Amino acid sequence: MRVFLSTVARGAPVEQGGELLSLDWEKKEVLKRVPIFPSNPAVYDPHSRGSARGGRGIALLPGELFVATYHSLLGFDYDLNPTRTITNHHFAGLHEIRAVEDGIWVSATALGAVHKIDLDGKLVQSWWAHEDPLIQQRFDATPLVVDKQQDNRLAYLKDFSKIHLNNVEVCDGKVYVTLNNHGAIIRLFPTEVVACDPALKGCHNGLVTPRGELLVNDSHHHTVVVFNLHKGEVIRRIDLGEFPEVTKIKNAPREYKNISWRIRLQNWIKRKRVARPLFTRGMCRLQDSRVLIGISPATVLEIDYKTGKLIDYFQLSGKVNECVHGLEASPSADFPFSI
């Protein structure tokens, strides 16, 4: 199995803020790694932690893959040679992306929006959370007015959407988005709240299975939450920190990648941690009930979400501020082709 992942080096300079890697999962071997950072336009990031750094979601297409940066999708062949770049004036704060037969869905977190582009990069459909009457009424969302006639890629680095729409998922032709700050899963076209639960607040990623299970990462509590969308309740929580192999990673001496003492001191004064071990981000559904999950320091775990057991893992870094963000694999439940 070939695994592709993106990383974010929290607190590092933007141009050293992350990578895209390909792995041979069976051999636990890194096949190639390339730096990933936003450029053209370059981003001056006013924040000292994640924000504009590194790679985000990954989408696999036949013969090509894309990894998101803050404002663009960077294309590569499967050997990680660059192919092309897709960007749009409404790409800002990109997080997860999802490939479908006729295009790619993109979550633009800074704008509280989700966009679909075709395979040539043309924008074909959008949904703006702050403009949706149901979202306004149900969540009393802080207004965010976006001038759609201007280039918004760098316009919302400071004044961004507070609902934190950070994931887009497609299952059985239905589009779902995740509102991190409200613990809500929204099904689109038409808009419908399919889940809203404190257990989902602060969640990232979000995969919907054909059986109506929702899998999300609770990033700050190193937990995978399995939620029943039909019953509206948590089925189980998998605490990754309970695995002995993960506990060993958590308790290892703290090392940092490409982060200055000035940034570390600055965040200590503000009482904000630049990074923490077991920060949980990245998810890919394999066959049966197996999923890949990412944690920091950059490590990929293979777990069975039904039994809650750890099947396998591969640690790629000992630097606590180097986090996995995007994860995809071939073959997988969403991309059954073998690369």
Domain annotation covers residue 335: no
Residues of the chain by 3-state class (helix, strand, coil), percent to 5: 15, 45, 45
Q: Is residue 68 part of a domain?
A: yes
Domain with 99 in it: 2-330
Instruction: Find out whether the peptide bond into 143 is cis, omega within 30 degrees of 0.
Output: no
Mean per-residue pLDDT, 60-67? 96
With beta carbons less than 8 A apart as the criterion, state whether 185 and 210 touch: no
Q: For the chain, give the mean pLDDT.
A: 93
pLDDT of residue 50: 60
Q: Is residue 134 included in any domain, yes or no?
A: yes
Residue 65 in any domain: the answer is: yes
Q: What is the pLDDT of residue 154?
A: 95
**pLDDT tens digits for range 206-227:** 999 989 999 999 998 999 999 9
Identify the three-state secondary structure at position 154: coil
**CB within 8 Å of 159: residues ≥ 6 apart:** none
Q: Stretch 26-38: mean pLDDT, rounded?
A: 97
- pLDDT value, residue 47: 67
Is 70 exceeded by the pLDDT of residue 125?
yes
- Report d(CA 25, CA 187) in Å as an integer: 33
Task: Kindly state whether residue 130 falls inside one of the protein's structural domains.
Answer: yes
Does residue 260 carry a pLDDT above 90? no
- What pLDDT is attached to residue 46? 67
Reported as a single tens digit per residue, the pLDDT across 267-290 is: 666 666 677 899 999 999 999 999
Question: Quick one: average pLDDT of 37-62?
Answer: 87
**CA end-to-end distance (rounded Å), the chain:** 8
Task: Report the pLDDT averaged over residues 37-46.
Answer: 88
pLDDT at 48 over 70: no
- For range 105-114, the mean pLDDT: 98
> What CATH number does residue 16 fall under?
2.120.10.30
pTM for this entry: 0.95
Query: How many structural domains comprise the chain?
Result: 1
Token code pair at residue 6: 């993106």
Q: In this predicted model, which residue has the larger pLDDT, 259 or 111? A: 111
CA distance 50 to 272: 12
Q: Is residue 337 part of a domain?
A: no
pLDDT interval class at 261 (50, 70, 90): confident
Q: Has residue 338 been placed in a domain?
A: no
Element (H, E) at 244: helix 244-250
Paired tokens of 89: 């004036």
Q: What is the pLDDT of residues 141-193, one digit of tens each?
A: 888 999 999 999 999 998 899 999 999 999 999 999 999 999 999 999 999 99
Task: List the structure tokens of 181.
Answer: 């700050």
Whether the predicted pLDDT of 24 surpasses 70: yes
- DSSP secondary structure of 181-233: GGTEEEETTTTEEEEE-GGGTTEEEEEE-TTSEEEEEEGGGTEEEEEETTTTE
Is the residue at 29 inside a domain? yes
Cβ pair 89, 62 in contact under 8 A: no
